[in-house]
Structure 1
Amino acid sequence: MNFEQTWRGWPAFSDDHIQRLIDEMDSIDLPIADHSPPLNPFTVFHSTQLTDPSILDHPTAYKSELDSQDVASLIDLSQSETPPTPYIEVSYSLLRPLTPTIYDWLSSSRDEATIFHHYVTWIAPIMIPVDSTNNPWKSVYPSTALQDSSPASRALYHAIIAQSAFNLANLYKDNRHIYHQKESVALEHYGSSLRELSQTLNSTKEAEYNACAATLYTLMISEGQARDSVAWRSHFNGAGSFVTQFVRQKPWAQSTHSWVISQSIALSFEISQTGNAKPHNRSPITEILFEGVASRQNFGYTIGASCNVLRIISSTRLFMERIAHGDVPDNLCLTVQSYIAELLPENHAQCGIDLDIPERESIVKSLPRTEQFKFLDCLHLRLFRTAALIYIYQAILKVPPRGVSKYVRSVLLDAMTFMYVRGGAISMWPVFIAATEATDEADQKMVECWLAVSSQLGIPNRLVAGTVIRQIWHDRAQEAIVRGVEPDQVVLDWKAVQQRLGVDLLLL
């Protein structure tokens, strides 16, 4: 609609009235994780903010380490009945009257509309570290699902409903009636998505690439996060086969939506393969997709990592797999040295705020919101970069925890600050990598703090991650006793522990 038609019948505000509204808004302490306006084209309900003010205004300024009281206070806050995530928009709302058009888009079912709304207002913000207007789960994925009635779009729509319903079931896991009701809905739509997808994969047109790729990704996320399943890797295999059909067309280079969806698949593959106990070398996703989508400088923004760091992680994994097959590259030492040099904190640009001063939290909270967002972006980038450094020492150099303790502490302190400043949902990979090498009691308390908060998001694999991490700590302590050394001198392969437990973590 044109501008005049859109706003016909609405009052025109004077400059003085607008200024008064602005002044009133400036006096309100809005949750800083909400980069974008609370309403978007796919939000059909009113939102209610549920926050714990004690977590928002926690007085602790981080020092070189947390004392036990600091950590205990955050863990206590995470054990409330409602998800203790003040940095994420929480929407438990009343149904707004829907126009027939929107109703037809979503479904004839108001329950499905509610579940779709939960996806946009709860799941979308926790899919990305710093929620902003370029969050694709608030725009690209929903719009692709609703763009037409093709089998590909319907498959994505059902996948979105399934992911959202699984999440709702997990959020209400203590209420058996609601849990089973939502799980039943999720399974129904999961099956519908697979049926629609099977109809279109054999004859996929380039125009349907986005919907099919997004469906494969969403099903993988549903399996790996919402259902705590080991079957999610099968969707990656399907995604690899699917991507190879478009080698010549390269849709990811032709539109922003295609690139966003394709980079989600590429990122997920590279991160998930770091936890694969069975080396597979390069795959179609690495060969075709990763190189194709990584050319853009903002590659990696959806998981809060930089393009260069993700390339290093990918190369480190491939080196590790070659070494596992007895193939040690001639240039291994020089390459590893160059990677370490690039990742070291002293060789990286600062964020404008000294990240290492004790008062950084109070300073950040006093900044304008746009500056806070920049700080949080920078903090998460550093968190990921430091974890990549730990990964190199861990995967290739086999350095014991004592040799990476300062980097482990850095990652965990950054994660705590990110949580206290209400940044968003921290990516799982960097904190998990640091946690596997945590031997100091203070560090382990910070890990427990992160687990306590992140386990309240309705994502079961966070609970499984806690089980794996604690088993690693236990096994390392037992091995240290047997060998007569300190735990921080014991090198342990966390992938072997994970495999022994019979789980396969999706580290997203």
Structure 2
Amino acid sequence: MEPPVSRTRKRQREFTGCWRCRGRKVKCDNGFPCSACKRLGFECDSSSTRLVWINGKESYRSAGRRYMHCERTWANYAALDPDVVDLLIARLDDDETSEAPWPSGIDYNPFSVFPAAVSISLGSNMNQALVCNSTKTPQANQEEKLLFHHYVDYVASIMMPFEHPCNPWKRHYPAVSLQYSVSGEKALYHAILAHAAFNFVHLGNDRQKMMRLATSNYNAAIKYVNDSLRVTGKDSGSTLAAIMTLMMAEVYSGNSSKWKHHLQGAWAFLLESNGKEPWNESEFACFSTQSLLIVKIIGATCLTDGQNTTQILPPSPEFTSTIVTRPVTAGPTVSPSINSDLALSSFISTTPQFGFTIGAQRLLLECISTITTVSRQMRSGASPRTRLIADRTVSQLLAYLNLLQAEALDNTLGDIGIEQVFECNPQTSKSNIQELARYQLNAFIFATYIYLYRALLDVPPKRVAVYVSLTFDNITAFSALSSGNISLWPAFIAAVEAYTTRDMESSRRWLEQSTHFGLGNRLAVKSIIEEVWRRRDAFCTERGMDTGLVAVDWRDVIRDLGMDILLI
């Protein structure tokens, strides 16, 4: 007689609960918001859809997949009239039908995978709140509407590490571009469309068509920028924003060098402002000038030559008084005139919330700027005293970084601008944004330790391994709470020095995630990091050395590969 066969009952798990509760593996009451998220102050995403990008024909099996009974899907929705059903189906594939008015009272389309796009127009829905007394808006076709909405709903969000109600790319740039009355505003509008189209290209969305749209709008933006530059003294804020947006469009396109031309052009434009201070004109212009200086500081860390050893950002009084009893020997005295690089940088860096758009603090960016300046002086052999200056600078910077780290542990976020978030939107979850901001800031602090030790002391990876691990610990914690686009610079600085199994796995996990945002420069970043790892492994294999004892300068790798990347 055969033994009885034990039958395991197959459990069918329903698609219930919010994503955050599922990630924390706790029971969810299916409310909106659920009680757990409401109690902890988190933003609850209920049972919203999460899309996963996969390559080619590769299969994907979600560990968190659940089943939902078919009859439940539309249980709470009224039946649609046959004419409405025909129109909704026709809108899926017919561009002409998609221009027809949306059926009145219908806010869903059961025949589409994605949420229904109701009455797409440049000033509708969330964009309506962005349009400030607009006298003339562009006559956009369906393609332009698609690109504009993609910019507002996606591209503008990933320009910052996490969703932020004061995000200038979402709060100011679209609104100004929709004025569309002067050349600077027209340039910004078409630069925004080019930016969005390049992002679509790298997301794999109809690449040939999107590349055509990106190119045509890019050329249109260049034309309007040139028109604006001919009119001196007017429209400086929107013109500068347009140039900056064109620069980011180049970064998103994956071009590894052209972004620098826009940076140089924007900086020259500011220097030739004839004594004006555009950062004082409006919040919009202030954020544009801040972004320009941040790009200048971060971009300088990747320069491969030591020819230009001039200082980027002079130390502020707060910087020097906090860490030393005698001033840092870092550069010339700043002139009261703004017609010099140092003076211009000094004025911009003292504006409110400088650094918050990248998730850093002003004084932390001053540390990075000082490290870059001294490192370039050392590489160029500018002076016999350079080594002595470097030693003194290291001790001063370490003292300040230790202070920043202590403040972060005491939950002090300094001038990162968190409190201003709640002035913009009191409904924002304070605890969630504070937590994400802290992880982002910690990653920056620990990456700056790595940058200091490697750029000024040329220590091997083993010496900075603890900071590499701490950087990725904060990146992992950030990713567990948010699907946002964490700043590239700290992750890259840590990844190129990773050599332990744990840190290499963290680096690869971050690289895999970062390439899914549709930013072309991430592919170049990945190739640089992998080339650093390859050279280190090859040297260790040849010499029989521990990988933690072999230092490979990633700036030399960038030079050898002929790349010129922006780590933003």
Residue 201 of structure 2 corresponds to residue 188 of structure 1: no
Query: In the TM superposition, what are the counterparts of 1:87-98 in structure 2 within 5 Å?
Result: 93-96=116-119, 98=121
Per-residue deviation, 1:126: 0.5
Residue 251, structure 1, aligned to residue 251, structure 2: no
1:306 alignment counterpart: 361
- Structure 2 match to 1:233: 260
Which letter maps to 1:214? Answer: A
* Residue number in structure 2 paired with 1:380: 440
Shift of 1:483: 2.9
Instruction: Kindly report which structure 2 residues correspond to 1:72-83, keeping only aligned pairs within 5 A, or say none.
Output: none
Q: Which residue of 2 aligns with 1:505?
A: 565
Does the 8 Å contact 1:146/1:153 carry over to 2?
Answer: yes
Q: Is the 8 A contact 1:263 1:290 kept in 2?
A: no
- Partner in structure 1 of residue 156 of structure 2: 124
Q: Which string of whole-angstrom CA distances, capped at 9 and with x for unpartnered residues, describes residues 326-348 of structure 1? A: 12444332221111122137852
Alpha-carbon distance change, 286 to 492 in structure 1, aligned in 2, over 3 angstroms: farther
Residues 463-502 of structure 1: pairs in structure 2 closer than 5 A = 463-502=523-562
- For each residue in 1:69-105, what CA deviation from the matched residue of structure 2 results, as whole angstroms up to 9, or x when unmatched? xxxxxx9879x9xxxxxxxxx9865242549997962
Residue 166 of structure 2 aligns with an amino acid whose one-letter code is N
1:334 and 1:244 map into 2 onto residues whose CA distance is 32
1: CA distance, partners of 2:123 / 2:482 = 37
Specify whether residues 385 and 119 from structure 1 end up closer, same or farther in structure 2 by C-alpha distance, changes over 3 A only. Answer: same
Give 5+ residue unaligned stretches, structure 1. 1-22, 39-47, 54-74, 81-89, 355-367
State which of 383, 392, 395 in structure 2 corresponds to 1:334: 392
Write out aligned runs for 1:42-441 (5 A): 50-51=49-50, 93-96=116-119, 98=121, 105-172=137-204, 178-205=206-233, 207-246=234-273, 248-279=275-306, 280-282=308-310, 286-296=341-351, 298-326=353-381, 327=383, 328-329=385-386, 330-344=388-402, 347-350=405-408, 369-422=429-482, 424-441=484-501
On the 8 A contact 1:472/1:492 being kept in 2, the answer is yes
What amino acid is the match of 1:94? A
- Once the two structures are TM-superposed, the CA of residue 254 in structure 1 deviates from its matched residue by 3.8
Deviation at 1:492, TM superposition (A): 1.1
Q: Tell me, which stretches of 5 or more residues in structure 2 are unaligned?
A: 1-29, 53-59, 66-112, 129-133, 313-338, 413-427
**Structure 1 counterpart SS, 2:169:** coil
Q: Does 1:451 align with 2:506?
A: no
Deviations 1:90-140 (CA, angstroms, capped at 9, x unpaired): 986524254999796243312211110100110111000122110001112
Amino acid across the alignment from 1:385: I
Tell me by how many angstroms 1:209 deviates: 1.2
Helix, strand or coil at the partner of 2:162? coil
C-alpha displacement of 1:500: 1.5
Q: 1:298 to 1:99 in 2, by over 3 A?
A: closer
Cα separation, partners in 2 of 1:77 and 1:168, compared to 1, 3 Å: farther
Moved more, 326-335 or 415-424: 326-335
Q: Look up the SS of the partner of 2:235 in the other structure.
A: helix
Deviations 1:442-472 (A, max 9, x none): 1111111111111011112112211110110
Give the match's secondary structure for 2:485: coil
Provide closer, same or farther for how the CA distance between residues 407 and 285 of structure 1 changes in structure 2, counting only shifts above 3 A. Answer: farther
Q: TM-score if structure 1 supplies the norm length?
A: 0.77
User: Separation in 1 of the partners of 2:536 and 2:273?
Assistant: 46
- Return the alpha-carbon distance in structure 1 between the equivalents of residues 464 and 193 of structure 2: 42
Could you tell me how far apart the structure 2 residues matched to 1:76 and 1:310 are?
42
User: Equivalent residue for 1:6?
Assistant: none
Alpha-carbon separation, structure 2, partners of 1:197 and 1:392: 39
| Structure 1 residues 99 and 76, CA gap change in structure 2 (3 angstroms) | closer
Range that drifts further, 332-341 or 385-394: 332-341
Contact 1:144 1:210 in 2 (8 A): no
* CA apart distance, 1:229: 3.5
> What amino acid is the match of 2:342?
E
Q: CA separation in 1, counterparts of 2:506 and 2:466?
A: 14
Q: Which fold has the larger relative contact order, with Cα–Cα distance below 8 Å and residues 6 or more apart in sequence?
A: 1
CA distance change for structure 1 residues 147 and 117 in 2, over 3 Å: closer, same or farther? same
Contact 2:461–2:551, Cα closer than 8 Å, also in 1: yes
1:365-387 Cα offsets, whole Å, 9 max, x none, are xxx93212111111111110110
Task: Tell me by how many angstroms 1:26 deviates.
Answer: 3.3
CA 1:134–1:440 in 2, change beyond 3 Å: closer, same or farther?
A: same
For 2:493, give the aligned amino acid.
I
Q: Secondary structure at the match of 1:128?
A: coil
2:33 matches 1:26: yes
Could you say which structure has the larger radius of gyration?
2
Cα gap change, 1:300 to 1:347, in 2 (>3 Å): closer
Task: Answer yes or no: is the 8 Å Cα contact 1:224–1:461 preserved in 2.
Answer: yes
Q: CA distance change for structure 1 residues 379 and 97 in 2, over 3 Å: closer, same or farther?
A: closer
Give the Å deviation of 1:272.
1.0
The one-letter code matched in structure 2 to 1:180 is Q
Counterpart of 1:390, as a letter, is I
Q: Please state whether the residue corresponding to 2:353 is helix, strand or coil.
A: coil
| Cα pair 1:167 1:459 within 8 Å, conserved | yes
- In the other structure, the counterpart of 2:90 is none
Residues 93 and 314 of structure 1, relative CA distance in 2, 3 Å threshold: farther
Q: Provide the rounded CA distance (Å) in 1 between the counterparts of 2:532 and 2:153.
A: 35
- TM-aligned CA distance change 1:92 to 1:277, over 3 Å: farther
Given that residues 129 and 423 in structure 1 are in contact (C-alpha distance below 8 angstroms), is that contact kept between their aligned partners in structure 2? no
Paired with 2:283 and 2:44, the residues of 1 have a C-alpha distance of 22
Cα–Cα, structure 1 residues 473 and 100, in superposed 2: closer, same or farther, change >3 Å? closer
8 Å Cα contact 2:138-2:180 kept in structure 1:
no
Gap change, CA 1:398 and 1:404, over 3 Å in 2: same
Contact 2:450–2:467, Cα closer than 8 Å, also in 1: yes
| Conserved? CA contact 1:106–1:112, under 8 Å | no
CA distance in 2, matches of 1:285, 1:452: 42
Between structures 1 and 2, the one with greater helix share: 1
